[in-house]
Amino acid sequence: MKKNHNPYYPDRKWLMPLAVFFLLFLIVTSVYPKSSSHGATRVVLDSNDNERLELGLPPLPRFAYLISGTKGDGGSMRRLLQAAYHPRNYYLLHLDLEASDSERLELAKYVKSESVLREFRNVMVVGKANLITDKGPTMIASTLQAIAILLNRAKDWDWFINLSASDYPLVSQDDLLHVFSFLPRDLNFVEHSSNLGWKEDLGAKTIIIDPGLYHAKKSGVFWAKERRSIPSSFKLFTGSSWVVLTKPFLEFCIWGWDNLPRTLLMYYTNFLSSSEGYFHTIICNHKDYQNTTVNQDLHYMKWDNPPNQHPINLTSEHFIDMVQSGLPFARSFAENSSVLNRIDEELLKRAKGQFTLGAWCVRNSNSNSISEKGPCVAYGSPHDVKPTSSSKRVEKLLMKLLDHENFRPRQCSLSHQPWGRVIPLYSKLMLNI
């Protein structure tokens, strides 16, 4: 074997996708302006990145995940963690206050006892849980707390990704890390629109009170009789609650050097479904970040017609469409749905109860065996990845999103309906009348 031979690239076939990715990089940088000093993104080089640089490959990023759930979601969160795990990333698990202390303790015990997680020490469990109301601001409050914890406890990550217990990955982390290594580190994936639709009347002009801010038990939001006008000092945006946001932007939201994040946090305290507008409105109203947006939440979802508050549960009949979408995540899935087994088997190559494998984890020839160290008989470097053919689907999607015909025209000023959906009865469904 030659001295610099890479076992994951046994021949030069990888030069073609590499050339495509560099073309993608040139496309983005040609239409994407440099950020100001406040929004500048610093790529932190690892000592282990030298080998990648010698091979002509960019340094790998790190993701910081928030995985959240409620009563009965402990098992789904554990499975999601196993499917989306990579030792290079960071993971914060939050079971809300509606879950029992015993369920939360069981999740914490798993994290403490699992040999892989003990080895890499990159998974944390929120001990003091928050109460979360879907329609109120408690979801944003909990997300901001999670971001603050990750900023304080985790080192040198690049993108924050929020997932719920009903989400699931469609590609391995090796694939996702590989693809994102070729992207500018200041792109924010947030689906957004200035067309508020029904939210102009039932969100922007109404005032709600969320009892979850001061009660220990979950209940519906209260509606005030008073109404308010559309704000004139900033423009409202709305979109999906699921985001992939950069560390510099989130540092601005937490430690903002002007008052916009705090002003909007106070405004969205009384806004219906504030998680579908808070980050979107900040990012589109600040000159340092409004040109960093990619109008896509990177989730595959299906909705009823007319749609309910949440997307429908995905089944095996959606599998082909999911794969062909190129999206790295999907939702919603029922617990232990058979389609999850199919995703594990055909896309992630993940055995039941074990982690999605990658360059970091070396397995026995017997794919179902578990050594004393756990699912891996040996640990490879967490700074290496072994991308599969699935990465090509994500690559194709990103090239489409970042093409000059899609990237600029779909940023912040757009007024199309988010999710491409018409919501004629959504307001009645939200009000449960």
DSSP string, 198-234: HHIIIIISEEEE-GGGT-SS--PPEEEEEE-PPPSSS
Q: What is the pLDDT of residues 263-272, one digit of tens each?
A: 999 999 999 8
Which residues pair with residue 45 across a beta bridge? none
Q: pLDDT-based confidence at 210, cuts 50/70/90? A: confident
Residue of higher predicted confidence among 172 and 45? 172
How many other β-carbons are positioned within 10 Å of the β-carbon of residue 312? 13
What is the arithmetic mean of pLDDT over 73-93? 97
Spatial CB neighbours of 325, under 8 Å, sequence gap ≥ 6: 300, 393, 397
Domain membership of residue 22 (yes or no) is no
Mean residue pLDDT across the chain? 83
pLDDT of residue 384: 87
pLDDT of residue 429: 28
Q: Which of 17-31, 161-175, 249-263, 414-428 has the lowest mean pLDDT?
A: 414-428
Q: pLDDT-based confidence at 47, cuts 50/70/90? A: low
Domain membership of residue 46 (yes or no) is no
Distances from the Cα of 48 to the Cα of 7, 25, 157, 278, angstroms? 16, 23, 15, 37
What is the arithmetic mean of pLDDT over 349-366? 83
pLDDT of residue 45: 52
Q: Which of 23-32, 46-55, 198-207, 312-321 has the lowest mean pLDDT?
A: 23-32
Domain membership of residue 30 (yes or no) is no
Q: Which of 173-177, 249-253, 275-279, 356-360 has the lowest mean pLDDT?
A: 356-360
Domain membership of residue 21 (yes or no) is no
Residue type, 188: N
pLDDT of residue 212: 78
Residue of higher predicted confidence among 350 and 135? 350
pLDDT of residue 222: 83
pLDDT of residue 306: 60
pLDDT of residue 330: 98
Judged against a pLDDT cut of 80, whether residue 241 lies above it is answered with: yes
pLDDT of residue 209: 86
Query: Phi-psi region for residue 432, left (φ > 0), alpha (ψ -120 to 50) or beta?
Result: left
Judged against a pLDDT cut of 80, whether residue 428 lies above it is answered with: no
Share of the chain above pLDDT 90, in %: 62
Do 326 and 401 meet the contact criterion of CB atoms below 8 Å apart?
Answer: no
Report the distance separating Cα 128 and Cα 123, nearest Å: 16
What's the start-to-end Cα distance of the chain, in Å?
70
Which tokens belong to 217? 């038990």
What is the arithmetic mean of pLDDT over 281-307? 92
Residue of higher predicted confidence among 333 and 426? 333
Domain membership of residue 267 (yes or no) is yes
Q: Environment class of residue 75 by beta-carbon count within 10 Å: exposed (0-12), middle (13-18) or buried (19+)?
A: middle
pLDDT of residue 375: 64
Angle between helices 390-401 and 15-31 (to 10 degrees): 20
Do 271 and 137 meet the contact criterion of CB atoms below 8 Å apart?
Answer: yes
Judged against a pLDDT cut of 60, whether residue 59 lies above it is answered with: yes
Instruction: Supply φ then ψ for residue 22, to 5 degrees.
Output: -65, -35
pLDDT of residue 298: 98
Judged against a pLDDT cut of 80, whether residue 16 lies above it is answered with: no
Domain ranges, residue 244: 62-431
Do 364 and 370 meet the contact criterion of CB atoms below 8 Å apart?
Answer: no
Do 352 and 395 meet the contact criterion of CB atoms below 8 Å apart?
Answer: no
Q: pLDDT-based confidence at 230, cuts 50/70/90? A: very high
Q: Which of 94-108, 182-196, 204-218 has the lowest mean pLDDT?
A: 204-218
Q: What is the pLDDT of residues 102-133, one digit of tens each?
A: 999 999 999 999 999 999 999 999 999 999 98
Residue of higher predicted confidence among 429 and 260? 260
Place of tokens 């491409």: 420
pLDDT of residue 38: 44
Domain membership of residue 312 (yes or no) is yes
> In sequence order, what E strands does 98-173 have?
123-125, 159-164, 167-169
Q: Which of 9-23, 32-46, 246-260, 340-354 has the lowest mean pLDDT?
A: 9-23
Number of domains in the chain: 1
pLDDT of residue 220: 78
pLDDT of residue 129: 93
Going by the DSSP 8-state scheme, the letter that residue 166 receives in this structure is: T
Instruction: Supply φ then ψ for residue 63, to 5 degrees.
Output: -105, 145
Query: Phi-psi region for residue 64, left (φ > 0), alpha (ψ -120 to 50) or beta?
Result: beta
Share of the chain above pLDDT 70, in %: 79
Residue of higher predicted confidence among 104 and 48? 104
What is the arithmetic mean of pLDDT over 21-39? 40
